[in-house]
Homo-oligomer: A and B are copies of this chain.
């Protein structure tokens, strides 16, 4: 909690005080102190953009305030604010609270990290009965002044005084109904005056106090409210969800900016834009604007705005200014910018800019194009794209060959296809998500309060709002498919009903949305995987050139392997042979092998498995040629191939209950039951499996080794370049590895003799038992490579059985922070990582060219990959869809290696 620095006892005047900086003075790099938005406004001002004048109140002031709210704002803050208001008065020639030419300001929150929509903002502050007429006079637009006033009363009432929106909305709707107005714009000045009076009444009624008229009182209350919003539920939830810690952002700054007006007539307007298309990455101005409106109208999705391109016709000169602004922003920030602008009577103001949130495809495309345009270096291009983001690009898309007619068409707000049961409410989405159900959150429009529903949903569908609506922005940030503004759907959230043409949809009905096309389908549609874009290929090739780590895939079948190659895998790091045993036509032979009473009976079953496995390997080697294929010998305990005791008992009792009892079949089942009981283990994770099976039943491993080496020999005979690697699981002693090594050498000699070709191979071991780590020097005498099996190694290091832990206590551990992550998803660098690092060091002591990799689930996790790079591994191996993620992560790890710090 501690403050970064003790406050000075007595703040001095503007320019040298600690709490307040004008945009002309603030350090544009100091986001911790000024917040992201404030720092940006300072920077924008100082690089010569047309930003309305204003000042920033620091995050430090916020923290001091929050530390003891009863004391009010920190001493000296308000005098400094007044000093700066006087500065604004000088710059604008307006007067704060002045009847003539009044100065109005916006008060906006902004912490060090961007938290869109999470905290509060007040516009038009400074309005009261007095300044209202001044504003009307000053602008010659009475209606505008009243419109601003009623907006201000509602916003201030809600944000600063805690009056719920509904109280205001009800009155507004009544007045509109009485006036026969469709939209807010249809209301006349007298209507708005009535609204203002009603709104003032709402505030008095709700707070027991009249609405504050004094602009400085308004300002003080607003500053406190913004400060307070930092600890509001929404903001706290958001920070927790995105792991924003106090180190990263602590407290919000407050930006006080002279108001400019987009609602001063048809030569005014407001908009938000991206310097490039955040959905596709295309190098074009992208955004939306509304004529004669304030910015809130766009963001909240209340009115559906026009594409910014329309400005080229409607306001060609301003459009040129906008294009110039775009170039200036990208040139300065070397990053796609998401900016807000307002046009006040033909003058373009830039109100805010920040790095644009983009989906993966856009991020990739802009990275590659900006590199080509000379805006960024290749390294910057690689570092710009969070590896995790690439997963989005591999999200399934609706199968283009499907015949289904869309039920509705909306705006393609965030790409990818999603399918799930309809829920109409974020809370219910969250509840269903906890149960593992796939849901689509369907709303008229979404609000910041709905954020928890986004996390839980597969996708989001709204009937209102555009590409920059709350739903669209948040969904893109999360990489979740979103269709926005699907106006053909009528959503009645209170009744939990949605109407599409003649269909009435209720909660639980299945829907498929395609965020890439904006289409909405009833029922579940087939999906397909996307192709790689050229830009992604380019970026990943750069990544491969940069990375030190190789990226392999975990793949068990030729189909898996083909996909892995498509995704750029440089080989197979883990082929689990037992998966080959599980196929329907093979399992009976495997069962026969397990039930065998004598080595001869077992051999007979193995003799039938041999040609099958050999064919498997041959296919795999052919697909992967000339890349290496690492085959792990049988790992799971025997009983995993048999039915459970309960299943067998149930089946036997079913068989007994039949009218015609088949005694022979029952006897067969009883034999299996006896075997299952004999094989029962108390802790199968730590049981009779892996190399321990090889010691007790060497003939099984011999068969597998034979299948691998014979397949390789056949490939060699056919001229295929193969590199099989034989890997032994669960090793914990050197003698175990020697035992299998001897088997391999024997079979290898036999195979080379029989085929009369040289069969290349490498021999290595999984390192997934703690003792293997501790005996690394000795194991590497025999093993040419180590492959960390971080799934099992995590279990052994924590003494956590994964299934049991995830069912019983891990969620609570994560919730109360006993563990920050699930160690089965995120490699535990501080504990297991330490053991891994020592293992690598010890193993290479004996064999300096020992190849070391990782083939657990962590192999596809960017943070874990960074650690793997840090400790000098040679490769990571992960599931095919994570291969692109891993390739990029490997490159980033190489680029960022110097600043890797391990906790002590």
Contacts and interface: CB of A to CB of B under 8 A. Distances in A.
Contact of A683 (B685, B816, B818): B685
A688 B774 contact: no
A816 B695 contact: yes
Interface stretch (A503-511, A577-585, A730-738): A730-738
Interface in A777-809: 777, 792, 795-801, 803-805, 808-809
A710 B732 CA distance: 46
A6 interface: no
Contacts of A798: 686, 732, 769-771
Given A695-B812, A808-B688, A832-B771, A801 B732 contact: no
Q: Tell me how many chains of this kind the complex includes.
A: 2
Contacts of A834: 774
Given A799-B769, A835-B774, A682 B685 contact: yes
Given A682-B801, A798-B732, A818-B736, A831 B774 contact: yes
| A contact patch SS | helix
Interface string A808-844: 1100110011110000000010111011000000000
B688 A809 contact: yes
A904 interface: yes
A406 interface: no
A770 B792 contact: no
A736 B816 CA distance: 11
Contact of A796 (B688, B692, B796, B816): B796
Contacts of A809: 688, 692, 695-696
A5 B567 CA distance: 61
A331 interface: no
B818 A739 contact: yes
Contacts of A730: 799
Contact of A795 (B686, B696, B774, B808): B686
A213 interface: no
Nearest to A680: B804
Contacts of A687: 801, 804-805, 808
B819 A735 contact: yes
Residue in A732, A736, A792, A830 whose Cβ sees the most chain B Cβ within 10 Å? A732
A831 B771 contact: yes
A775 interface: yes
A681 interface: yes
Contacts of A688: 804-805, 808-809
A526 interface: no
A684 interface: yes
Contacts of A792: 799
A796 B795 CA distance: 9
A6 B681 CA distance: 53
Interface centre among A687, A771, A777, A832 (most CB of B within 10 A): A771
B801 A774 contact: no
A682 B680 CA distance: 11
B733 A771 contact: no
Contact of A686 (B770, B801, B812, B830): B801
A833 to B, nearest CB: 9
A704 to B, nearest CB: 19
A686 B808 CA distance: 11
Contacts of A795: 686
Interface string A686-701: 1110001001100000
A573 to B, nearest CB: 21
A895 B183 CA distance: 96
A534 to B, nearest CB: 45
Contacts of A835: 770, 774
Contacts of A803: 682-683
Contacts of A817: 735
A413 to B, nearest CB: 40
Contacts of A681: 801, 804, 808
Nearest to A739: B818
5 contacts: A682-B801, A686-B799, A695-B816, A770-B770, A770-B798
Given A681-B804, A687-B801, A796-B796, 7 more contacts: A686-B799, A686-B805, A695-B809, A695-B812, A730-B799, A735-B819, A796-B799
- Counting from the closest, the 6 A-B pairs by CB-CB distance are A683-B801, A686-B801, A771-B831, A688-B808, A687-B804, A769-B799
